[in-house]
Amino acid sequence: MATTNVLLREDVDNLGVRGEIVRVKAGYARNYLLPRKLAVQATAGNVKQIEGERKALLKREARDRATAEAQADQLRTLSLNFERKVGEHGMLYGSVTSMDIAEALRAKGYEIDRRRIQLREPIKETGDFTVNMRLHRDVTVELPVKVTAEGGAATETTAAAPAQAEASATEAADTTATETAENAASEETAGETEA
């Protein structure tokens, strides 16, 4: 199969990093990398131009990494809270997705692309979660996310109410069983006295 050399303009997963010259199949370059401007052809005629671009890309890479690290320092102090409608057993009606997290960050003044939020699957239950955000190839931030039921304290009391009701029911059942045993014992004693 025919291959070609290309200079990557952006990081491409499982292929290489920005500014790197890689060998790929010609069809992959022609149909995917070049139309999306993820790479340019690395021909003999433009090697010097590519080297100049590569140096510029490496400088841009260093600048992007510094920006990502500064943003990561700010995000480490941040935590997000989401209130959602909840059904039985703490399961949400709907879910919290990477788009929801990106919108919450945007509301707090941080422009993070939702594709940088690494969420394996949407959050579908209440609780505390940790979501990873990949701001740069070498910079990842763990963001605490808390999902609660709408109304907050009201759901905690409703969650505690079934537990209290269950405890009361268990207590009542124990009392009934004890009374039944006492009644049976007194009936036996009464039966023995009559005989």
Percent of the chain with pLDDT over 70: 75
Q: For the segment 172-187, what is each residue's pLDDT rounded down to a tens digit?
A: 444 444 444 455 444 5
b vs e for 3-21, b when ≥16 Cβ sit within 10 Å of the residue's Cβ? ebbbbbbeebeeebebbbe
pLDDT the model gives residue 94: 86
User: Chain-wide mean pLDDT for the chain?
Assistant: 77
Residue 120 resides in a domain: yes
**Which range of residues forms the domain containing residue 102?**
80-153
pLDDT the model gives residue 23: 93
Please tell me the pTM assigned to this model. Answer: 0.55
Q: Where are the beta strands (DSSP E) in the chain?
A: 3-8, 21-25, 39-41, 80-84, 91-96, 117-118, 123-125, 127-136, 139-149
Q: Are residues 59 and 87 located together in one domain of the fold?
A: no
Residue 163 resides in a domain: no
Residue 189 has pLDDT above 90, yes or no: no
Residue 110 resides in a domain: yes
Q: Are residues 139 and 122 located together in one domain of the fold?
A: yes
Q: How confident is the model at residue 152 (pLDDT cuts 50, 70, 90)?
A: low
Residue 139 resides in a domain: yes
- Hey, what are 128's tokens? 């505390």
Q: For the segment 14-23, what is each residue's pLDDT rounded down to a tens digit?
A: 898 877 889 9
Q: Are residues 113 and 52 located together in one domain of the fold?
A: no
* DSSP reduced 3-state for 54: helix
pLDDT the model gives residue 178: 46
Residue 28 has pLDDT above 90, yes or no: yes
Residue 167 has pLDDT above 60, yes or no: no
If one counts the domains in the chain, the total is: 2
Residue 89 has pLDDT above 60, yes or no: yes
Residue 36 has pLDDT above 70, yes or no: yes
b vs e for 142-178, b when ≥16 Cβ sit within 10 Å of the residue's Cβ? ebebebbbeeeeebeeeeeeeeeeeeeeeeeeeeeee
